[in-house]
Structure 1
Amino acid sequence: MWKKGIASAVLLLLIGLLVWNLLEPKEPAIGLENGDQAPDFELKTLDGQTASLSDYQGKKVLVNFWATWCKPCRTEMPDLDAIRSEYDQVEVLAVNLTTTEKSVDHVAAFADELKLSFPILLDQKGIQARYQVLSYPTTYILDEKGRIMSVKHQMLTKKEIEQELDL
């Protein structure tokens, strides 16, 4: 008789765990695919501050990987700046591949020349490798919760960005 009682208790426990797992809200996995939570990172900015991706939760974020020697990067920078200036709910984080640059001063001169207003993050830690960036520019488009909406391995225009972000 007590065996039936134990078997019933174990069965109820298993059913309870199954229901718990089905009803419990799941956090998206951290990864690089659409719908994944983008991996957080912390980098120094051109102006000496520290910025983390998680600092920008609540806004749509364009994480743009670029370098000064990349001609398509130079071409898209004004459009990225226009998006950030025109839409308060959007942030641009320009992650510079600093290890390939002549110097940080060269990066600063580039940003000054183009009058960029968004944060320039200096990637001396290999964040681009963590994000599997193989070509420049590459842009990760994130929603307000930091989930990846899409990844673009190309230069983007203002119009394309507005379409991606439903602006």
Structure 2
Amino acid sequence: MSTRSRAVLLSAVAAVAALTLSACGKGGTSGGGGNTNFVTGNNGIDTVPAGKRTAVPDLSGKTIDGKTLDVADYKGQVVVVNVWGSWCGPCREEAAYFSKVSKQYEGKGVQFVGINTRDTSTTPAVAFEKEHGIDYPSLYDPTGKLMLRFKKGTLNPQLIPSTLVIDKHGKVAARALEALDDTSLLKMLKPVLAEK
């Protein structure tokens, strides 16, 4: 193995280890210094004004049921992205709320997408969605590579669970780094959905 290949592999292992250490936590702060353009509210939700938002990275791949999904296909809609794992207690706590709100906003310009991470197979992920009444698709991301596509210093999903709200233009508008109930989820979603 070349020195460069070894360095790339070590960087990837370190990044996955950092994500593992932060797994299934309550709250957190974004990495990186300087002016990040986002404001943390006292409700644990970070937001960015419309003119200062960054585009969501490529979030595409296979879903837990083997289909192909690309979040970019939902441009023009508000997209709620929830990062979860079947092994995560807080993810189980919030699942019923996500199911309820996704059904409430079905056909109203909102698309929910899950990112299932660190499940070693899709079997527990599919069982989790069935148990909690999750109808929307979830990308299968066992190693956390989709989470690593977000740039440092942006509203990136650093913990599990994390939730992002992506505006109609494909830019990240809000983030929560903790389990949400329906009230908190709607506080993130409604202002972005109201934007022109």
- Do these two structures clear the TM 0.5 threshold for a shared fold by scoring above it? yes
Match of 1:129 in 2: 148
Match of 1:162 in 2: 186
Q: What one-letter code is carried by the residue in structure 2 that aligns with 1:84?
A: S
**Per-residue displacement from partner, 1:6-33 (whole Å, max 9, x unpaired)?**
xxxxxxxxxxxxxxxxxxxxxxxxx996
Partner SS, residue 93 of structure 1: strand
When Rg is computed on C-alpha atoms for both structures, the one with the higher figure is 1
* CA RMSD across the alignment: 2.1
Structure 1 residues 41 and 102: alpha-carbon distance in aligned structure 2, compared to 1, 3 A threshold: closer
Distance 2:148 2:92 in 1: 21
Q: Could you tell me how far 1:153 is from its partner in structure 2?
A: 0.5
* 2:86–2:128 contact (8 Å) kept in structure 1: yes
Structure 1: segments with no counterpart, 5+ residues: 1-30
Normalised to the residue count of structure 1, the TM-score between the two structures is: 0.73
Partner SS, residue 96 of structure 2: helix
Q: What one-letter code is carried by the residue in structure 2 that aligns with 1:136?
A: I
Q: What one-letter code is carried by the residue in structure 1 that aligns with 2:110?
A: V
Q: How many residues align?
A: 135
Q: Which runs of 4 or more aligned residues in structure 1 lie more than 6 Å from their structure 2 counterparts after TM superposition?
A: none
Distance 1:92 1:32 in 2: 25
Structure 1 residues 32 and 74: alpha-carbon distance in aligned structure 2, compared to 1, 3 A threshold: farther
**Per-residue displacement from partner, 1:44-92 (whole Å, max 9, x unpaired)?**
1122111011011121111111111111111111111111111122111
Going by fraction, where is helix more abundant, 1 or 2? 1
Distance 2:181 2:77 in 1: 20
Structure 2: segments with no counterpart, 5+ residues: 1-35, 39-47, 151-155
Check if 1:76 corresponds to 2:100: no
